[in-house]
Structure 1
Amino acid sequence: MGMERRKPHAISMWMCFALLLLVHSVHSFYLPGVAPQDFEKGDLLKVKVNKLASVKTQLPYAYYSLPYCKPKKIEDSAENLGEVLRGDRIENSPYEFKMREPQMCNVVCHVTLSDKEVKEFKEKIDGEYRVNMILDNLPLVVPFRRPDTDTLVYQHGFPVGFKAQYAGSKEERYFINNHLAFTVKYHKDEETDAARIVGFEAKHFSIKHVYDGKSDDSKTRLTTCDPHAKRTVTNSNTPHVVDDREIIFTYDVDFQESEIKWASRWDTYLYMADDQIHWFSIVNSLMIVLFLSGMVAMIMLRTLYRDISRYNQLETQEEAQEETGWKLVHGDVFRSPMNSDLLCVYVGTGVQFLGMILVTMIFAALGFLSPSNRGGLMTAMLLLWVFMGIFAGYASARLYKMFKGSEWKKITLQTAFMFPGIVFVIFFVLNALIWGEKSSGAVPFGTMFVLVLMWFGISVPLVFVGSYVGFRKPAIEAPVKTNKIPRQIPEQAWYMNPFFSILIGGILPFGAVFIELFFILTSIWLQQFYYIFGFLFLVFLILIVTCAEITVVLCYFQLCSEDYLWWWRSYLTSGSSALYLFLYAAFYFFTKLNITKPVSGILYFGYMLIGSYAFFVLTGTIGFFACFWFTKLIYSSVKID
């Protein structure tokens, strides 16, 4: 009786714990500043600073890791789980404007660098780091024109500095960008005097400031940039060398009225790539895959219809002894495979992935996960992964029971811990490397603890709930009986070799997504926004159809060759597309990226290994279910004694 009383208490405690985690995660999903904000003339605008980022090293650093000007008190902005995992560190800054009141030559601070700080600036300049800032949830961009097309494009953030030869010397020297000319674009309401910010741009300059008298940050009179004499930094040609140590940081701010409305202000940031090439590539891929899918479907339907008609006719003529092809193996086709427990685990994990990606893409296509919600996409994916654990447990338990398994708790533990455990170990090692580089990309201990709590506190219990429900369901019945003695598999032709057919099967699914994969890798590793979620959802549906069809075709050929070991083969056939994905990631690394630091290379291949592993589980599960449905369908359509 005592145990019965404690169970509801334990369940209620777990539910409260899960609810608290859910509320905290959902609350952090929404960011302040996403809703439109009206500003009157003279209202204070506060600029926030984000990480220092580089596409060369892929290691972000906090803004104040360099001796930039600091406010009286540094305050961290509220960050969601996705932002922390991305390495974002949003803090306040001493840069402050007044709405629609231009300023010129404002002195932010006067800094004297130590030897260590000079070295840090040089390292960041060598690493091609860029400084990221935010105003009213809009990231700072630097406009420039491409010399080849003369089109205006935008880069995120401004460079810390640059290297160049100076004063006739052949030796390159380091220069720091210490002056910023901000441009704030706003859209004014015709009826009221209020305005909304629709653009945040800047031009960067390196200028060796000269001042009269003593240096006082609030009263310094610069002769190189004097608003009273209408002298700006563009009139000076003397850049500031980092080795000069004494640096004065200054800025201008100008306000420009714009016709762009607040709802369209992100269009500037999203249309950075050549959209014509993007759209043409996706449509071209779509047409090719649809054409191939149509051919495969037509061949399969005609061939299967002929086979089933012939087999049923043979049964009526009592000529079953002359059977050939896939009907011969009907007594072995549903025999439990080797390592059936592992197959159940991977199928359950694949169902969890499939549910997570489908729901995420639907929300993203509807506009709920736009790039303006920093970290929202990653936060949503983590939450959905956790709550999709119930479907993982259900799928693995149902398949396990079909294989005559009885220890459902064992298969549940493997489903709950195998894939997340492997990924967590790789992630922990990579995070230790990032931590060793003192990068802000390292996940803090508190965030790591939250991830573990979500795993053990929500995901694992939900997997158990799903397994319990799935195992209580009646076992899936095979349409034919299984013989006690396995049938001998005849010698196979070279093209039906498992290794060869598995490798061939992964080409078509990879071909359906590799063009879109280029844009995804570019957005991740070259720090560009990815926003065409509608097309991504369409490509994902194409991937599902392609994985299903290629697996069914090769499974049919395998059964016609009297090889009934299709369980693992169906999973590996479409899952082998992950191998091509990883090889393409390696090709992308050597052709598109300029990473020279060993730690950065390890991080790239480590994260791409995790991504390829997840892609293997996803595509393998799709192929498995398609083949499972196909075999049940064809063997239930013929007359078998």
Structure 2
Amino acid sequence: MRAVARNGAIVCALFAVSDAFYIPGVTYKSYKDGETIPLLVNKVYSGESELQYAYTELPFACPPTGRVKAGRFASGASISLNLGEVLRGDRITVSDYELRMGRDEEARFLCEKEVDAAGIQRTRLMIQNEYRAEWIVDNLPGATSFMSTDKTRKYYAAGFKIGEVVKQDDGSPEFAIHNHVTLVIRYNSAPGRDGEKGKKVIVGFEVFPKSISAEGRTKDGLPSDMQGTHDPMILAVPSNSTDVRDAPGASIKIPFTYSVYFREDEKLEWKNRWDMYFVASGDSSNVHWLAILNSLVIAGLLTAVVAVILARTIRGELKDDAIKLKPTRQTPTQKTHGLLGSIDDIEAEADLSDDDEELTGWKLVHGDVFRAPASASLLSAVVGSGIQLLFATIGILMLSAVGVLNPSFRGGYASVGIALWLFAGVFAGYFSSRLYATFGLPDWQRNVFRTASLVPGLLFATMFILNLFVWIQASSNALPFTTLLALVALWLFIQLPLVYVGGWYGYTRAGAWSQPIKANAIPRQVPPQSWYTGSVRGVVLAGAVPFMVVFIELVFVFKSLWLDKSGYYYVFGFLSVVGTVLGLTVVEITVVAVYLQLCAENYHWWWQSFLVGASSALWIFAYLVYYFFTKLHITGFVSSMLFFAYGALACSLYALLVGTIGFWSAWLFVRRIYAAVKVD
């Protein structure tokens, strides 16, 4: 227990250091007074839909004219994206909004956009579904500002609504579009020599949207009085029709304007500018600590159980002089006579049977415990892929906990995760092939191809099918054909060769792992089992324990992914601690389950050891279904299908990860206890 406490203290210390260390970006961009700052428009998203849309493709978006130039950027130019940004549906374009450092603009006219009836109807539906726009200035997303729960701190929520629902006098709803935005750019003096030269860095980007009617404007298209109250810009055509769709030939003209204000903020430094987006999340830090405490309590109880099994039961049995086993049955030689073999073989089997009758529990199945399982080739591929995923997951958590991966690196989690996954193909091939050789299976090249194709094939096939539905909806979630080709190229030219190299070395050079006891020629019959050993019910019940370790932290993960959408899950320090405890819990519950199974004289533990940890994914998916119907307001067939499809994929990867951890821990445990058995 002292070792556990010491390790826990070390983990908490590392967590404290990682929580304090944060890298918001590689370098800063400083601006001199009057220098043009490009405003980038990205996409719109909603908590009520899984479909996102490129902002420039919306029916009310002003088309860029190219008049704004900032360095190598010109309005209308598309910004090159990394793979992670493409996968998350980003489509970033330079806009016509003109921002010059330090120069306030009370009102500027952008454009007047004519929107037809179909565009009006689509915009009304998007306002009804509370779509929000994501704009970017100096890599900061435009934010709506709020006050924290204790009313002492201001914080940012990324994005702003494209419109609002307005109640008429008779109570009927109307939809008003936000056709005016007030942009507040907060800045501070640049650090170092740039600051001495009077240059500034941007530390905040706030957007205050407003709806202003097209009536009562000047000849320049500006409202006559920016400070007064205004009627909203209602999305309705001037006709006697009760519905926009009843007037297909009608259209309206929407004027778009904006204001720009620069404000100095000396309290906020550039390196801490992302903290404004995390204030609201920081208020829930006590709940994160509760999640860690819950995980530690469950892991502590399991540790006590495992300690009893290892220190008392097994160690006591190993010291017993009765654990002296005769040589196991060997595979019958070619010198056999008749169907039953030679007289010597039959007598040897009889002697072993008499000796086995004196043994009980896990000792009785010593001659069958290392027998190759059913579908051994598939198990090798699954476990090898799990090792690959484990390496990538640990790498992402470590880089995130120390701040190398952070929200300023847009798309970084997916891009770096894919890179780590590809590199870990060497380990996947190595461990898969060595396990394949241990099972005594030939044709390692087929195993290599199976290992390299299992997870990528599942992911690509699912994404390709879903992409067809998303493409029909004209959503930015749809992956371009070139991206699909790039993913295939990554698999063909990087993933497959690396898995092949690792597989070749693992099978031909390293070879099979030696087993402490050789398997008998004839399998022992498994006696009737209890409901908790070797059954689906027992596996599912055991999977509930790892789920209880993580379910509190899952609330924050789900909220970040499906409620906030553009919200950023940043507490990877907490997640790393919970993940570490989760791994320890999976190890312990698997060891307990396998030990009970062997004591019940059931030697089919190979797949069972994998499924015990993996079954917790069923509980997570069940919780995901509950979350969908109780917390979310996602509507539409395609959005619902995307939610459950991506949720099922995430749970499958989680099952692969924790199942692999359980498998290797069980194998080490079984090898250890049977290696201590004395064979006469």
Whole-Å separation in 2 of the counterparts to 1:141 and 1:489: 64
2:417 alignment partner in structure 1: 381
> Cα distance, 1:313 vs. partner?
5.3
The answer to whether structure 1 residue 288 and structure 2 residue 297 are counterparts is yes
- Give the equivalent residue in structure 1 for 2:138: 136
User: What does 1:333-482 align with in structure 2 at a 5 Å threshold?
Assistant: 333-472=369-508, 473-482=510-519
Structure 2 distance, partners of 1:64, 1:33, is 27
> In the alignment, residue 266 of structure 1 is paired with which amino acid?
W
Distance 1:494 1:118, change over 3 A: closer
Counterpart residue number, 2:246: none
- Supply the AA of the counterpart residue of 1:537: S
Question: What does the per-residue CA deviation read over 1:384-429, in whole Å, with 9 as the maximum and x for residues that have no partner?
Answer: 1112111111111101111111111111121111222122111111
Quick check: 2:218–2:224 contact (8 Å CA) kept in 1? no
After superposition, what is the alpha-carbon deviation per residue over 1:322-350, rounded to whole angstroms, capped at 9, x for unaligned? 32211111011101111111111111111
1:550-565 to structure 2, matched below 5 A, reads 550-565=589-604
**Cα drift, residue 603 of structure 1:** 0.1
Contact 1:502 1:569 in 2 (8 A): yes
Show the 5 A alignment for 1:600-615: 600-615=639-654
TM-score under structure 1 length normalisation:
0.89
Query: Counterparts of 2:135 and 2:581 in 1: how far apart (Å)?
Result: 39
SS for the counterpart of 2:47 is coil
1:275 aligns with 2:280: no
The equivalent position to 1:591 in structure 2, one of 630, 647, 652, is 630
More displaced stretch, 135-144 vs 492-501: 492-501
Give the structure 1 partner of residue 210 of structure 2. Answer: 205
Bigger CA drift: 408-417 or 321-330? 321-330
Amino acid at match of 2:179: N
Partner Cα distance (2:594, 2:181) in 1: 63
- Check whether the contact 2:53–2:475 (CA below 8 A) recurs between aligned residues: yes
2:72 aligned with 1:96: no
Contact 1:551-1:626 at 8 Å conserved across structures: yes
User: Which residue does 1:62 correspond to in 2?
Assistant: 54
CA contact under 8 A between 2:144 and 2:156: conserved in structure 1? yes
Q: Deviations over 1:52-74 (max 9, x none)?
A: 11111121101112222232141
Query: What TM-score does the superposition give when structure 2 sets the normalisation length?
Result: 0.84
1:150 shift after superposition: 8.4
2:110 alignment counterpart:
108
Question: Is there any run of 5+ residues in structure 2 with no aligned partner, and where?
Answer: 1-22, 67-75, 238-251, 326-353
Deviation by residue 1:529-557 (Cα, 9 ceiling, x = unmatched): 01111222222211211111101111111
The one-character-per-residue Cα deviations of 1:306-365 (angstroms, maximum 9, x if unpaired) are: 44344335549x998632211111011101111111111111111111111111211222
**Deviation for aligned residue 1:221:** 5.3
SS in 1 for 2:32: coil
The SS at the match of 2:50 is coil
The Cα offsets for residues 87-142 of structure 1, whole Å up to 9 and x where unpaired, read as 01110111111111211011111222222221221121122111111000000001
Is there any run of 5+ residues in structure 1 with no aligned partner, and where?
1-30, 226-231
Would you say the 8 A contact 1:175–1:242 is kept in 2? yes
CA 416–320 in structure 1, closer or farther in 2 if over 3 Å, else same: closer
CA distance in 1, matches of 2:200, 2:599: 71
Map of 1:42 onto structure 2: 34
The answer on 1:516 being equivalent to 2:553 is yes
CA distance in 1, matches of 2:25, 2:92: 13
Runs (4+) of structure 1 moved beyond 6 Å?
Answer: 146-151
Partners of 2:355 and 2:484 lie apart in 1 by 66
| Aligned counterparts of 2:217 and 2:177: Cα–Cα separation in 1 | 22
Q: CA deviation at 1:503?
A: 1.0
Mapped partners of 1:614, 1:630: distance in 2 = 24
Amino acid at match of 2:96: P
State the Cα distance separating 1:460 from its structure 2 match. 1.0
CA contact (8 A) 1:33 1:137 kept: no
**CA–CA distance in structure 2, aligned partners of residues 221 and 550 of structure 1:** 68
Match of 1:159 in 2: 161
Which has the higher mean CA deviation after the structures are superposed, 545-554 or 121-130?
Answer: 121-130
The residue aligned with 1:237 is: 230
| Separation (CA, whole Å) in 1 of partners of 2:321 and 2:463 | 55
Which position in structure 1 is the counterpart of 2:269?
Answer: 261
Counterpart AA for 1:290:
A
Q: How many residues align?
A: 597
1:186–1:196 contact (8 Å) kept in structure 2: yes
Determine which of 559, 576, 579 is the counterpart of 1:540: 579
CA–CA distance in structure 2, aligned partners of residues 88 and 281 of structure 1: 35
Q: 1:212 to 1:546 in 2, by over 3 A?
A: closer
- The alpha-carbon deviation at position 300 of structure 1 amounts to 2.2
Amino acid at match of 1:102: D
| Secondary structure, counterpart of 2:49 in structure 1 | coil
- In the alignment, is the contact (CA less than 8 A) between 2:144 and 2:208 conserved in 1? yes
Amino acid at match of 2:392: M
SS in 1 for 2:51: coil
Aligned CA distance change for structure 1 residues 182 and 164 (closer, same or farther; 3 Å): same
Are residues 267 and 32 of structure 1, via their aligned partners in 2, closer, same or farther at CA, if it must alter by over 3 Å?
Answer: closer
CA deviations 1:572-595 (Å, max 9, x no partner) are: 111111111111111111112110
1:567 lines up with 2:606 in the alignment: yes
Query: Equivalent pairs: percent with the same residue?
Result: 38
Q: Is the 8 A contact 2:303 2:588 kept in 1?
A: no
- C-alpha separation in 1, matches of 2:532 and 2:218: 85
* Alpha-carbon spacing, 1:221–1:569, altered in 2? closer, same or farther (3 Å): closer
In structure 2, distance between residues paired with 1:314 and 1:458: 50
Distance in 1 of aligned mates of 2:537 and 2:643:
29
Q: Which residue of 2 aligns with 1:83?
A: 85
Letter in structure 1 aligned against 2:158: H
Give 1:493 deviation, angstroms.
Answer: 2.4
| Change over 3 Å in CA distance of 1:640–1:149 after alignment to 2 | farther
Q: In the alignment, residue 293 of structure 1 is paired with which amino acid?
A: L
Flag the 1:33–1:326 CA change in 2: closer, same or farther, 3 A: closer
* Structure 1 segment 179-190 matched on structure 2, within 5 A: 179-189=180-190
Structure-1 separation of matches of 2:416 and 2:96: 33
CA contact (8 A) 1:210 1:224 kept: no
Superposed displacement of residue 301, structure 1 = 2.1
Q: 3-state SS of the aligned residue for 2:135? A: strand
Distance 1:315 1:158 in 2: 74
- Letter of the structure 1 residue corresponding to residue 205 of structure 2: F
How far, CA to CA, are the matches of 2:285 and 2:51 in structure 1? 32
Of 601, 611, 623, the residue aligned with 2:662 is 623
C-alpha deviation, 1:151, in angstroms? 6.5
Q: Which amino acid aligns with 1:308?
A: E
Once residues 646 and 187 of structure 2 are traced to their aligned partners in structure 1, the CA distance between those partners, rounded to angstroms, is 40
Q: Structure 2 vs 1, CA of residues 170 and 103 (structure 1 numbering), >3 Å: closer, same or farther?
A: same
- Cα–Cα, structure 1 residues 549 and 221, in superposed 2: closer, same or farther, change >3 Å? closer
Q: Distance between the aligned counterparts of 1:210 and 1:33, measured in 2?
A: 45
Larger deviation, residues 270-279 vs 514-523: 270-279
